Amino acid sequence: MANLKSIKKRIVSVKNTRQITKAMKMVSAAKLRRAQENVVAARPYAKKLGEVLQRLAQSQDSDGHPLLEKRVAEKALVILVTSDRGLCGGFNANISKAAERYIKERKGDYAEISLLTIGRKGYEFLKNRQTIRKNYTGVLSTLNYQTAAMLAQEVIAGYLAGDYDEVFLFYNAFRSVMSQDITLQQLLPITPPEAAAAEGETPPEYIYEPSMSELLGELLPKYIEVTMFKAMLESVASEHGARMTAMDSASKNATEMIGKLTLVYNRARQAAITTELMEIISGAESIKG
């Protein structure tokens, strides 16, 4: 009977766990819809801003801007975007390991490589393994453009002050509920995306008002802000997608485990009943004898 009680108790425990995982899946599904809408809305703006920068960067007047100028790279900063919460499969571990591998591979190219982590999980994974310059926790749960702009301005200020010569951004790009791509992007110095021109097409000439340098002075910091904001939006959507998938898998596993435990319980109960019947029959036979 003690064995039956323990099996029954475990079945109840797994059922309670399944209720929690199903609830978490529903919450993540609701949050994913909003996060996905934000990503889809941000992508065209970031793409068009990149195209504008690409046209400006083609002009000779754009040379010499500090955010475009390539230096001798002695110090590098890696920005890693993870989540503050777990229970989302390998979402955090995979990108943290990828960032760690990248740092180890590039260590010989720089005198110093440091990390700026956005999200508690990345910080906890790497705090005893790599040099972490700064960590931001809690910014992704209430993400807005002002927060991303503040972080971008801090990164730009450190770059202009010479704290680092190159800046790289690691984040999970959202593809679908079940697919997130680990993405590495160079943030500074800015390398505008190359525009694909049609064969034989002559690029148009533009008249800029105000001057080219003033436009670059406004647009280049804005490009860093938008890029960071988009990366953080992508990471948030990817997190909810990964958690939704992980909780769905956990719910299915719980259902399967409940079925197996129920079968074991029924067999144990049947064996206990058979044993009791045998004892009764044996007792009756001994009385007759």
Q: Which residues are catalytic?
A: 88
Query: What is the rounded end-to-end Cα distance, in angstroms, of the chain?
Result: 30
Could you check whether the bond before residue 221 is cis, i.e. omega within 30 degrees of 0?
no
User: Which DSSP string do the residues of 146-172 spell out, in sequence order?
Assistant: HHHHHHHHHHHHHHHTTS-SEEEEEEE
SS3 245: helix
Reference 78, options 175, 166, 204; nearest CA is 166
SS3 234: helix
Locate tokens 């939006």: which residue?
233
Quote the tokens at residue 6. Answer: 């323990």
